[in-house]
Structures are given as structure tokens and as C-alpha cells.
Chains A and B, each alone.
Chain A
Amino acid sequence: MFNWIILPSQLLAAQPVIDFVDGSELADLQQELQIELEWVHPNTADEALAYPKSALTDADRKRLQASPLVEVLEDSIEVQAFGGVNDPLYEKQWNLHLIEAEIGWATNPQKEVTVAVIDTGVTAVPDFHNETILPGISFVKGEKTSADLNGHGTHVAGTIAQYTNNKFGVASIAPHAKILPIKVLSKRGFGRSEWVAAGIDEAVDRGAQVLNLSLGGSPSKIIENAVVKALKSGVIVVAAAGNSGREGVASPATVPGVIAVSATDPKDLLSPYSSWGKEVSIAAPGGDKSQPGGGIIQDTIDGTDHAFKEFQGTSMATPHVAATAALLLSLEAGKPENIKELIYKGAKDIGTPGRDPKYGHGRLDIGRTIKLVAAERGLRFAGAGTLMLTMSILAGFRFRWLLAVSSAFFAGGAFFLPVIGVHEPLYLQPILNWLPISGWLSVAWKSALIPTLVIVGSIPFPRLRWLGVNVGIVWSTFFLAGLIDQQLDTSPIHGTWWLWLNLFLSVSTTLILVSLHRTVGDDDGKIPR
């Protein structure tokens, strides 16, 4: 029904990255080039990848580009349309290809989302953007640092938000997301139930919207209580089903309301180690290292160094789902319950048809899930917009009237957009965001400038005037509808029947517009009665 247009979109704030000749020393470069620099990460010093500490002027750029010390200077922010990303190890990430992570990358997140990785800690290995990892906390006795001394937590966090499209290492699912490291497992990978419970409470207190629990054990009342409390406060909790290779899901994935994740291999079959059972909500790639290249590869720690390592486990499957939840939250796709529904509805049904104990609702599929969001949101916008147009037309408004009404809509849209944070139809985002502008100018461009240009442009052409005004009004009502949409998200009438109503309105309005097109034609621009 809608064109699914994916154009280059921003992944992260524009940041120039300079690749110097390998082996360059930071101090020498700063002195030679008279620019303050910092390594992308201390461990990338060998590769000599650096950020300038302050904004570059055009003159700086020219000077740098001319310097023999500089191999590449670029703003590494663009996602390539449909071509994947430029992370060299992306080709080994069969898991991201399988779940169509690319469709997630092509969206424009509106909101910052924090995922708590409740695990062995997280270390800022080189393939993390320097702003991704928030200050963390450790509940592990004898390990004060929230840095990872095992490698598990960093790997898990990597699947969620490792730096993507940075010409280095691997990609991740939700590179915009922030990672909150909550250490509850020791360097050996074990933790007491009270540490885990305290970690869950702390993550919620610190404002995490998604909890990733790639851990489990025998049922523990204090952990389950902490999880129930987190769920009640509107946090999405994702937990691993376990690695027993048998029926029987580990706690806390068994807690009702938690998204319990089993693991699949590159062939979309249950991984041999994965636990399964009636509580499994969804399956996601967890890998199978008995198949060549069958593990999940991310950047993690390896002793005192870092390495791109393949891991397997339901621990690896879990962050695929947590990251998808974060992505949907960042797109303001709905409340936690809606987000869960979207993830389940979008899942590819594998195994026994319908929900089953091995794969739950199916294998995670970001592509299908995002398309559902787009269709739902697009239908609502189109429906509300066309409803207003229909009413205007049925009431027999004249063009001058319509111009006045639409002008009011433009002004209202321009006024309300930044105040309320109106949703935009997802399928229009790539078009709306192609101009490299932000703030008020961007708001004005989206809500007022485009429709005004369309209307003004059509005025000299009587035969096009009706079309220009209609397009202008539909456009601006999209934004007015955004206000309604915002309210509906929290109202009980948000649901399937609303989609059908909008579909009906869209179709009926289209028919009215077609009949109008046949009858309109007089140079006064009046709608004949």
C-alpha cells in the first residue's frame, strides 16, 4: 500500500573521522597539523584513526586533505541505501542479514533509548562510539569496576549498539541506543541472585527503558520480584531461555511479561544448545559454532586486548531482541505492550505453524516489524488527514476558504511540532529528512514550507490549483493528525479497528478526490455544486 522508500539517513551526529598514516603519533600529528586530536579509542592508535576535538573549518579540511599524513578524512555518518554498511566484518554477520537489520538502520530514531546490559560489565572496546556507553555500576563483590573482565557482557552490548558504518569492525542492530552497564556477574560469569535483583532495580532507577538479561538460573523469588517491578514500571525486559539443550526455560525468562528468547542457527533452526518451552516468546540468532562462521561475531575483550570474537548462546540471541525493542522505542512506535506485539507480529513464523515452544512467535525479523510500524502509522496519518479533507470537500468549501484553513494548519503545525514532538509518518521520514537542516528550520520545512511551496507553485496554473491546494491540505493535516495520533497512543481506542476505519476513510476519500478531479476545471477555482 505504501512505497517503502529507503534513502540515506543519518546514523549518528556528524563527526569527522581522520585516518592517518598507520603508526602516526598523536603528539606529532597535533604539532604538525595544528589541530587538537583524540584517538577514536586508545586501542585504535595502531590504525591511527582520530577525531578532531573541535569542529573543522573548510580551511582545516583542505589543509588536512592536502597533508601526506592523512589517508582519509570524512564524516562517517551516512548509511548506504540498501547497500549495507561499510563495516568490514559485516559480511560475516549472517545474523544481521537474516533479520534485515538494514531496514532498521534506514529509519530515523526520534528519541534516545537506554538499554541496561545486566551482565559481566561492558568495556569500551574500539568498535563502540565514544558516547554509547554510559557510566555503569558493579554489584559484584570484589569487582568495583563496571568494565568487563569476562568478555560476555561486552559482546552482548556489541550486538545492541556497536559503532556501525564506521569502516571498522562490525555492525550492530541499534547503534543509536545507549548502553547502561550493570555488572552482576563476576569475571567467571556467575552472580548471586541478590546482585542480579539489585542490578535490575538500579537499571530501572537509572531510566533504562529496556533490560537485557542474558543470564539465568533456578527460579529466585527476589529476582522475579525485581523483574515484576520493572515490568510494572513500563520497562521492556528481555531474557535468555537458557542453554540446556532441553525443554525447560531458565528463570527469569519464565516470568510472565518477559520476552523469553530461544536461539537459532544460520539455517533458521533451533540451535542445539538452546533451551525451549511454553514460555519462549520469540527466537533470534544465537549461532551455532559447529557450522563454519556460524557464531555471532562482535568486538569484545580478549584478556587485556580486544578482539572480534564469535560467541554462541541464547545470551547472544537475547540482545537481538532487546536492540529491536530499543529501536522501536526510539521510533516512538508505541507503549511497551505495543512494542512487544509488533515484535511478535513481525516475527517470521518458523517451525510448527503459530506459536510453538521452540521458536515462540517465530524468528525475530526487524524488516517485517518496521514495515508493520510504517503501515500502521501511515494508515493512521492518511486516514486522519483524508478525513479532514473529506469533510472540507463535503461541506463545499471554496478554494479561498481552503487556503485560509490550510494556512492555519501550517501555522499550527509549525507551532506544535517542537512542543509536542509530533510523529511523522515513517514512510515519509526519508523524504522529510533528506535536507541537512535541524531545529526550527527543519520543523518549518516539514510542516509549512513544503505545502506552501506546493500551493504557491500551483496558483499561476488554474488547472493545477485544485490539486496544489488539496496536496497542501493533506500534507498539513498529516501533521495535525500527528497531534491526534500522539493522544491516541495513550488512549484505549488505539487498536486494530482504528486501522480499518482509516483504511475505509482513505479509500472513500480517494474516490471523492477522483470524482472531484473530473468535475473541477473552472478558472475561478470554485468547486461546482
Chain B
Amino acid sequence: MEKYQGKLTRVDIGAGGWQLRTKSGTTYDLEGDIPPHLAGKQVVIVGEQMESFGFMMGGPVLAVNSIQELTD
């Protein structure tokens, strides 16, 4: 498992989904339970990149193990 940091974004594609947009410009499609109140916040995600397919098609798929809001 690795840590990924960026802005958590609710994306209106298809039936909707979540993405993490990192400072370096990478966009990850997020698979997992995402608390909706964190939308738009800077977060740290502990997860794993998966060889996964989906309808989001925004970038590599990150399976989310845990998610935490970045406070400072």
C-alpha cells in the first residue's frame, strides 16, 4: 500500500464517480467507499493501483483502503 495526496473530486461522468487529482497532474479514478463530505478537500489516500477497468476512464485506478482529510 502506498500513500497518495491530492484533491478529492466528485466527477460527473456516466453515473458519477470519484477522482484524486495530484499536484503533479496525475488523475486517479478511485474505487472504494468515499465519504461524500470530503469532496473538494485535500486528502491523503492509502491504497493500491489496480489493473482495473471502469467507465470513468480518467486515469489509473486506485483501490482506496483508507482516506483522510489533510488538515494543515
Are chains A and B native binding partners rather than an unrelated pairing?
Answer: yes
Binding site for B on A (CB under 8 A): 119-120, 150-152, 155, 184-185, 188-193, 196, 214-218, 220, 223, 240, 242-244, 250, 273, 275, 289, 300, 311-316
Contact across chains for B57 and A151 when beta carbons are under 8 A apart: no
Contacts A190-B61, A218-B60, A244-B27; A315 near B53 (Cβ below 8 A): no
In the bound complex, how far is the Cα of B27 from the Cα of A215, in angstroms? 17
Measured between beta carbons, the chain A residues less than 8 angstroms from B57 are 215-217, 240, 242-244, 250, 275, 313-315
> Which B residues touch A244, using CB under 8 A?
27, 57-59
State A300–B14 Cα separation when bound (angstroms). Answer: 11
The smallest C-beta distance from A146 to any residue of chain B, in angstroms, reads: 17
- Residues of chain A within 8 A of B27, CB atoms compared: 244
* Residues of B bordering A, CB below 8 Å: 12-15, 17, 27, 29, 31-32, 50-61
Minimum Cβ distance to chain B for residue A149 (Å): 10
Question: For chain B, what secondary structure do more than half of its interface residues adopt (helix, strand, loop), or is it mixed?
Answer: loop
Give the chain B neighbours of A192 by CB distance below 8 A: 50-53
Contact B13 A190 (CB under 8 A): no
CB pair A152 B61 closer than 8 Å:
no
**B8 CB → nearest A CB, Å:** 16
CB A302 to nearest CB in B, in angstroms, measures 10
The 7 closest A-B pairs by CB, nearest first: A242-B57, A217-B53, A151-B15, A190-B54, A216-B57, A190-B31, A152-B15
**Given contacts A313-B13, A313-B14, could you give 19 more A-B pairs where the C-beta distance is less than 8 Å?**
A120-B55, A184-B53, A185-B54, A189-B55, A190-B52, A190-B53, A193-B53, A214-B55, A215-B55, A216-B53, A217-B60, A218-B51, A243-B13, A243-B58, A273-B13, A273-B58, A311-B15, A312-B14, A315-B55
Whether the Cβ atoms of B60 and A313 lie closer than 8 Å is: no
- Closest CB in chain A relative to B72 CB, distance in Å: 31
Cα distance A243–B16 when bound, in Å? Answer: 12
Task: Name 25 A/B residue pairs within 8 A (Cβ), A-sorted.
Answer: A120-B55, A155-B14, A155-B15, A185-B54, A188-B32, A189-B14, A189-B56, A190-B29, A191-B54, A192-B51, A192-B52, A192-B53, A214-B14, A215-B53, A217-B57, A243-B56, A244-B27, A244-B57, A244-B58, A275-B57, A289-B12, A311-B14, A312-B13, A313-B14, A316-B14
Checking A155, A196, A289, A313 against B53 with a beta-carbon cut-off of 8 angstroms, the contacting residue is A196
Q: Which residue of B lies closest to A216 (CB)?
A: B57
Complex: how many Å from CA A185 to CA B50? Answer: 14
Q: How far is the CB of B17 from chain A (nearest CB, A)?
A: 6
- Assuming the A-B contacts A218-B60, A243-B58, A244-B58, are A191 and B53 also in contact, with contact meaning beta carbons closer than 8 angstroms in the complex? yes
Q: In the assembled complex, which residues on chain A have CB atoms less than 8 Å from the CB atom of B13?
A: 243, 273, 312-313, 315
Q: Which of B27, B32, B54, B60 has the most CB of A within 10 A?
A: B54
Identify which of A217, A275, A311 contacts B54 (C-beta below 8 A).
A217
Residues of chain B within 8 A (CB-CB) of A189 are: 14-15, 17, 54-56
Given contacts A315-B13, A316-B14, contact A215 B54 (CB under 8 A): yes
Determine which residue in B15, B51, B52 has the highest number of CB atoms from chain A within 10 A of its CB, and name it.
Answer: B15
Shortest C-beta distance, B15 to chain A (Å), equals 4
* CB closest chain-A residue, reference B29: A190
A119 and B53 contact, Cβ closer than 8 Å, known pairs A244-B27, A273-B13, A315-B13: no
Q: Which residues of B contact A313 (CB under 8 A)?
A: 13-14, 55, 57
Complex: A214 Cα to B53 Cα, angstroms:
10
- On whether the beta carbons of B14 and A223 are closer than 8 Å, the reply is no
Nearest Cβ distance between residue A150 and chain B, in whole angstroms?
Answer: 5
CB pair B56–A193 under 8 Å, yes or no, is: no
Distance between B69 CB and nearest chain A CB, rounded to angstroms: 21
Chain A residue with the shortest CB-CB distance to B32: A188
Take A218-B60, A243-B58 as given contacts and tell me if A223 and B53 are in contact as well, using a CB distance cutoff of 8 Å: yes
Residues of chain A contacted by B54 (CB below 8 angstroms): 185, 189-191, 215-217
Interfacial chain B residues near A250, Cβ < 8 Å: 57
Chain B residues near A273 (CB-CB < 8 A): 13, 58
Structural contact, A217 and B61, CB atoms closer than 8 A: yes
Give Cα A273–Cα B17 distance, bound, in whole angstroms.
14
Q: For the complex formed, measure the closest distance between the CB of B66 and the CB atoms of chain A, giving whole angstroms.
A: 17
Instruction: State the Cβ distance, B22 to closest chain A Cβ, in Å.
Output: 14
Whole-angstrom distance between the Cβ of B53 and the nearest chain A Cβ: 4
Pick from B51, B57, B59 the residue with the most CB of A within 10 Å: B57
- Name which residue of chain B comes closest to A314, CB basis: B57
In angstroms, how far is the closest chain B Cβ from the Cβ of A277? 13
